[in-house]
Amino acid sequence: MQAPLILASASPRRRELLLEAGYRFEVDPSDVVEPDPAPGDSPVEYAIRLAWRKAHAVAARRGAGLILAADTVCAVGPEILNKPIDRADAERMIRLQEGRDTEVVTGLCLYRADRQAWVGAAERSIVRFRPLTDVERAAYLDSNRWEGKSGGYGVQDRDPFVSVSRGSFSNVVGLPMERLAGLLAEFPRLAT
């Protein structure tokens, strides 16, 4: 018997990616509070830990099903950039990334609720962030498109100042579809 796939996220971008790939799934957001990274956390460790926490919370609530959770962060060197808390935080993040290659990491967790079995993985991509003029930066910040987006931008919004230079586009959007397909194929015991 196939366990139902349950997306532990309210992200419309993750839902869209799964639908486009032909997956059948339910949505049950985890509502887990995302804490700040612990001192010394790498982006990979932090993203995987958050994905696991989200999957575990939904698995505990549901008791059955294959829970899919993901968490995406941006990083500039050792600094992890979550979702901006306000306009000033978004501006700080944007300025930090301008003119640089930045890393986007998505942690994935597939958690089989009834067996308490899980597997995790991380996908890394590099995004090129071009320098902005003061006018471009202000217009972008005024648009509020930075809200709810790691690093303060969304490549799926076709923001003209970011481009994926290496790695998975869907990873930068928030759900690395290639890695997800690989995990499902590699660990079929979780789905059946």
- Annotated catalytic residues are 71
Cβ–Cβ < 8 Å for 30, 69: yes
What distance in Å separates the CA atoms of residue 49 and residue 40, rounded to the nearest whole number? 14
E strands, 66-116, are 66-76, 79-81, 100-112
- Of 160, 177, 183, 164, the residue nearest 17 (C-alpha): 177
CB atoms within 10 A of CB 156: 16
Q: Give me the helices (H) in 24-115, please.
A: 43-62, 87-97
